[in-house]
Structure 1
């Protein structure tokens, strides 16, 4: 986990910040969370302030190739240096730290009016996945959904690490690669879905999810990736879609605090995952948005790759569509991993209407 720990230096992009981040690098990536109660934080939109001007469609996704790097410190520094203007335009130094721990912190920052079922609204980054492995295709398709304030504040990192590992990761400005999706040269890929454990299910001294997903980018195999997930005590639960392009294998891994893990291998029956636990028994908030998307997906055809793109582009439910266009949540892009073609395609705009903007070989 040293790579994830050292990559905090992503935020060291100006001389003025050096002293703060030397302090932050003290030996541990654990965060002890106090239970905070703020009467001023009535909505999570106070946390996600509007980040400059936004063009909802047609944003060019910048690709930054970096490395070989001597260590993760150098990797993080170079990423921070390259995207310093974008990062500083979106957040102050302290808010950048909070961004990487927002899932762990925000459940404890509530006022008296906030209800447990508001957890997912507070975190505010739903995603949808449709997965299948059968004789004719092996596909993982993913909608990356986030607060509209994050439109135009993402980029792709193509990195070469000191041990020869290379990875490509969709990354939010100021965050570790990647809390969205990525793949490496060992045939391992992943997409992620947030889940809403209730407050009593969250461990204040656990490890932040952004650090776990960063660590996954160094996995040598799908079994190694599963070990990296299950051997660490997460603070907040998560859903990982682990993909092995070399063996045509997909695992959906749901986790919760106190080392709880449930693994489901995806097979011939198409598997849709939104933002609630499906097979790990955990107390969770009932997110209406996620429940609606899950129900709608169950009613749609899933016989072909084009069906999957139609599903992820579905806007039938005006209040809780699968493909989101605001006012609070927006689908930033759709990622399609085709294990038979060994490609990752990124579609900007509705996948029902648009073709890939980027196609990466995963060979």
Structure 2
């Protein structure tokens, strides 16, 4: 692998506004962010040291083909989108798909996968006048400076995929070369959500990788549809994650939901457990299963998650945006800080969704000590009526 000169933490989050088919949107993303995507692929230790060697084995190649065929059958439009990104960036499609399979390809060879304490922290506050979803986007250090916003409007001339989607409009923070939906995002139906990676032990090749289920979430119009997408009945998830979400235009009181999703076991559907925060309540989630009885494998991730949750519990119950910023910017635990700038894992961005003001504030550095780099309005379909 090449030696890459460090450029430090850049105060920069590029954005693309694009409209077209899934392939066209993917191509525009790849073409405009080609240098960032190529740089990320060059620097990705997990790709070069784990995923590509596994891909070159019979077991790994079979897991790859089985998983690709599964996604092609259920979400062909997102394969088109990813192919567009690969073509636009002039990078191999299989390398991008391996990033979306993540540890599934390693599990096929009875390998446990990455041992680093990567993963994100999320706080939801549901109080009168303060309806906040705050999230740290934490990733392996090579991801720093290798991310961007995609604001896309996708219109199809015929229904796409298993959920027959004809239109999608969303904004999502994306890792370089990855489909939208796996960090923090919102769509024009008013769905706001963030993701916490979870390290289930028993992963399932030939099932739907979590990256594609969270991509499909960007089309959800309501909470019933969101659960349907994550449950993925007839197939099920190949790996797991936690989704923190709310719908800005739902009827009645504001509700925040945390959905823990586990890989399919005996049934052909994902394992799901939902916890809801009603008015006056709050939610905390990091990178371990708190409710689903799923065996986990990344000991360092679990330790980090436990330490971050312990830090949160030293605070009073969060009541406002300022409390959320204080907690997400906490770096008092030097071994396992909430806001991370360690040798292996970095907090690449912090996002604060204000559901009352309908804004999304993005910080590229610790929010305790810095102003947001950008504050985006949450523009909904109903705004145009």
Q: CA deviation at 1:337?
A: 0.8
Structure 2 residue runs of 5 or longer lacking an equivalent are: 42-90, 156-165, 265-269, 380-385
Shift of 1:126: 0.8
Shifted more, 126-135 versus 143-152: the winner is 126-135
Q: Displacement, 1:50?
A: 7.6
Aligned-partner Cα distance in 2 for 1:95–1:208? 15
CA distance in 2: counterparts of 1:216 and 1:291, whole angstroms: 28
Separation in structure 2 between the aligned mates of residue 143 and residue 120 of structure 1, nearest angstrom: 20
Judging changes above 3 Å, is the alpha-carbon distance between structure 1 residues 51 and 128 closer, same or farther for their aligned structure 2 residues?
farther
Paired residue secondary structure (2:103) = helix
For 2:185, the equivalent position in structure 1 comes to 182
1:270-326 alpha-carbon deviations (Å, 9 max, x no partner):
221110011112122451111111111111132321111010010111000001002
What is the aligned partner in structure 2 of residue 4 from structure 1? none
Q: Secondary structure at the match of 2:198?
A: coil
| Deviation for aligned residue 1:100 | 1.5
Deviates more, 1:124-133 or 1:84-93: 84-93
Distance in 2 between the 1:109 and 1:234 partners?
18
Structure 2 counterpart SS, 1:142: strand
Structure 1 equivalent of residue 256 of structure 2: 250
Aligned to 1:349: 365
After superposition, the C-alpha distances for 1:205-256 in whole angstroms (9 at most, x for unaligned) are 2111111111111112232222111125000111011221123321110011
2-structure distance, mates of 1:330, 1:237: 21
C-alpha deviation, 1:183, in angstroms: 0.5
Shift of residue 106, structure 1, vs aligned partner = 3.6
2:281 maps to which of 269, 287, 293: 269
Q: How does 1:1-363 map to 2 (within 5 A)?
A: 52-67=4-19, 69=20, 71-91=21-41, 93=92, 94-108=94-108, 121=115, 125-162=118-155, 163-198=166-201, 201-232=202-233, 233-247=236-250, 248-258=254-264, 259-267=270-278, 268-285=280-297, 286=299, 287-301=302-316, 302-363=318-379
Could you tell me whether the CA contact under 8 Å between 2:182 and 2:195 is conserved in 1? yes
Residues 10 and 145, structure 2, Cα contact 8 Å, conserved in 1: no
Query: Normalized against structure 1, the TM-score is what?
Result: 0.79
Q: What are structure 1's unaligned runs of at least 5 residues?
A: 1-48
- Alignment size in residue pairs: 304
Change (3 A) 1:52 1:245: farther
Partner of 1:157, secondary structure, is: strand
Q: Tell which deviates more after alignment, 296-305 or 340-349.
A: 296-305
Distance 1:225 1:90 in 2: 31
